[in-house]
Amino acid sequence: MDSRDWGRFLLPYEQAVEELKVKFKTLRTEFKSRDEYTPIEFVTGRIKRISSILEKAKRLNVPMDKLETGIEDIAGIRIMCQFVQDIHRLSALIRARKDMVVVYEKDYITNNKESGYRSYHIIIEYPVQTSLGLKPVLAEIQMRTLAMNFWATIEHSLNYKFKEHLPSDIKVRLQNAAEAAYQLDQEMASIRDEIISAQQHFEDKTHLVSRVLNGIQDLYYYHRIREAAQFQLKFNELWETEDMWQLKELSQELQEALQRAKRSNS
Ligand code: 0O2
Ligand code: 0O2
């Protein structure tokens, strides 16, 4: 293949990378415009370098006329997420899309590589619209957390520099660092869950308080002055102690008192 052929060969892959980058960046913008939490932190993309394609073809015994099917990551998209849960959510969104077809998936998060590498890879078939008609190309979508990306970026640059000559003690330290990155992801995920459940608890409390206060006001409306004053006193006590369980009971009793008041009023 001469250099001109390479240019023509890579063109649909370049187009695929550009289009896919726009699509996933737009997905992020869409979540943000709805004020929703976005599972995408940022998106990057690249075309594999010709030397890397040749090296990989040699390593995998792929003949030059079978590069299109033999090398799946000529077009590569990388999506960075805050949490591992975001990667699973994003994978489901990708599987549901009509503009790309999932060929297969590689879960290097559950089954990390020997190096310590973790990421979730999805190989897709993506149709590129060219002047000669539709051309389906293979592309690899890598999804990782920020911690996984931090590790992989540094490890990749070290491997690139030292090739196969990475000292074995360094390899072990990199494996340990990968484990530390994974622990960090787990810790952050559990902190996030606790924050969300604390927010939920806060929401519950806010609703409960307004339900009780509205209930007391309704009792006044039905001229149950003494009862309303008793509920107000009880509420003041519980408000001080922040006893949610008793506050729930108080709210229940208040609803029953209101039903009685409504019945005797009608
Ligand atoms: P913004 O709003 O400027 O950040 P292109 O769209 O072709 O110009 P490409 O190829 O996607 O850009 O660029 P690149 O360098 O691969 O980076 C893609 C996006 O990821 C860029 O944002 C970077 O700012 C962002 N990015 C890269 N590394 C990090 C990182 O560590 N943290 C964060 N939060 N963002 C990072 P944009 O698309 O130019 O937009
Ligand atoms: P580039 O162009 O530098 O991004 P194999 O390599 O045979 O084990 P396979 O099937 O070729 O596996 O592909 P795999 O492992 O699913 O995905 C290859 C890509 O995943 C790599 O691209 C990296 O981007 C990333 N990757 C895989 N393993 C590692 C690893 O141990 N460390 C880091 N940093 N990244 C990894 P390339 O080949 O590096 O190409």
Average pLDDT on 236-252 reads 90
Closest C-alpha residue for ligand 1 atom 8? 44
In the chain the domains, ranked by start, together with CATH numbers, are 3-148 (3.30.460.10), 194-265 (no CATH)
Q: Which of 117, 163, 174 to mutate to test the pocket of ligand 2 (most atoms within 8 A of CB)?
A: 117
How far away, in angstroms, is 62 Cα from ligand 1 center? 33
Ligand located closest to 155 CA: 2
Given 3-state DSSP classes, what are the helix, strand and coil percentages for the chain, each rounded to the nearest 5?
65, 15, 20
pLDDT grade for 265, boundaries at 50, 70 and 90: confident
Q: Closest ligand 1 atom, CA of 46?
A: 10
Report the C-alpha gap between 173 and 127 in whole angstroms.
Answer: 42
**Predicted local distance difference test score (pLDDT) of residue 3:** 53
Neighbours of 32 (CB within 10 A): 12
pLDDT tens digits, 143-176: 999 999 999 999 999 887 777 788 889 999 999 9
Q: Which position has the higher pLDDT, 92 or 33?
A: 92
pLDDT grade for 1, boundaries at 50, 70 and 90: low
